[in-house]
Amino acid sequence: MTTSVSSINEYFYCPLKVYLKEYTKPQENITPQQEIQKLHGKIRKQVLKEYQNSVKKNFRIIQDNMNASEINQKLFKDIPKILRKVMKEHHINPNDEAEFLEDLKEDLKIQTAILALKTNQIINKGYNDPNYLSELLFPPIIENYLIKNFDLGLSGLIDKIEVVDGTYFPIKQKTGRGPLRGVWDSDALELAAYSILLEYEFNTEILVGFINYGNINDKRPVVINTKLREKLQEVLQSIYSIKKGILPEINLNLKKCEKCDYNKACKENIDFT
């Protein structure tokens, strides 16, 4: 038996969710809001993939004498076309999803501006080979890597692992936006758990991982230090005891309850009086 790393996020959302997941069945009905979120996630993922391909292609038209703003224009030029294409493939009228599209375009604008700056710095150092730029800015990755470790009692699906000069960097993809600075505590702990799994799997040491917010490569580093590892052990111990049937203490947050997958099971099984 292993505990999934995703339990950490559930635990932070509401410890009772971990209990209900273990001892009840989740609601089967997906709400219309969840359907829309799922579709938006799928579209974002596809747009990002096509965007990266277009950026790699457009590295070929970057000249040594271009500044960051000119590079930005070249890298951004295919985005409206990509958005139209993907929306068409999903049979979506862009007017019906104007807000989502605007949001997505804004995220891509930010990502392109950052990429343009990095590209400019690299070509200023005399490297303008498109293959080199692609490798440096989009390093080789292993995707969806599943690890189960019975000694640790942990399992998890790591979204991405970048391998740079033999060093492994786990990356956790998150759909929402991150905090103003850094990453959410629950995300850091999840990443620490993936790091420990990776260390065992590849007999290596992980010093840094990344949380990628919003599917736009807003990649924020997390140092996997001793303090984080100790905090992870504390949280895992709490999760293990909940899974053994010990009810956790609850601070009710009705906003969270409204969106919770276990709302119905919770009302049916838990006595809050």
Mention every residue, 6+ apart, whose C-beta is less than 8 A from residue 160. Answer: 141, 142, 143, 170, 171, 173, 212
Pick one of 66, 71, 242, 260: the residue that binds ligand SF4 (CB under 6 A): 260
Pick one of 20, 104, 171, 235: the residue that binds ligand SF4 (CB under 6 A): 20
Distance CA 167, CA 57 (A): 27
Q: Which is nearer to ligand SF4, 33 or 65 (CB)?
A: 33
Residue with tokens 């053994």: 244
Distance CA 93, CA 143 (A): 31
DSSP state of 15: H
Under rule CB under 6 A, how many of the chain's residues touch ligand SF4?
Answer: 12
Mention every residue, 6+ apart, whose C-beta is less than 8 A from residue 86. Answer: 43, 46, 47, 50
Q: Which is nearer to ligand SF4, 1 or 252 (CB)?
A: 252
Pick one of 143, 148, 256, 268: the residue that binds ligand SF4 (CB under 6 A): 256
Is residue 110 at the binding interface for ligand SF4, with CB under 6 A as the rule? no
Looking at the DSSP bridge assignments, the partners of residue 234 are none
Q: Cβ of residue 260: shortest distance to ligand SF4, in angstroms?
A: 3
Q: What share of the chain is helix, strand, coil (3-state, %, to 5)?
A: 55, 15, 30
Distance CA 120, CA 115 (A): 8
Q: Cβ of residue 149: shortest distance to ligand SF4, in angstroms?
A: 28
Choices 34-42, 59-67, 151-159, 253-261 (CB under 6 A): range interacting with ligand SF4: 253-261
Is residue 21 at the binding interface for ligand SF4, with CB under 6 A as the rule? no
Is residue 247 at the binding interface for ligand SF4, with CB under 6 A as the rule? no
Q: b/e for 174-196, b at 16 or more Cβ within 10 A?
A: beeebeeeebbebbbbbbbbbbb
Q: Cβ of residue 52: shortest distance to ligand SF4, in angstroms?
A: 36
Choices 131-139, 193-201, 211-219, 261-269 (CB under 6 A): range interacting with ligand SF4: 261-269
**Tokens representing residue 117 in the block:** 């700056």
- CA-based torsion, 167, 172, 178, 179: positive or negative: negative
Pick one of 17, 44, 74, 172: the residue that binds ligand SF4 (CB under 6 A): 17
Is residue 189 at the binding interface for ligand SF4, with CB under 6 A as the rule? no
Is residue 5 at the binding interface for ligand SF4, with CB under 6 A as the rule? no
Q: Which is nearer to ligand SF4, 149 or 263 (CB)?
A: 263
- Give SS3 for 168: strand
Q: Cβ of residue 249: shortest distance to ligand SF4, in angstroms?
A: 11
Is residue 262 at the binding interface for ligand SF4, with CB under 6 A as the rule? yes
Q: Which is nearer to ligand SF4, 11 or 169 (CB)?
A: 11
Sites of contact with ligand SF4 (CB under 6 A): 14, 16-17, 20, 250, 252, 256-257, 260, 262-263, 266
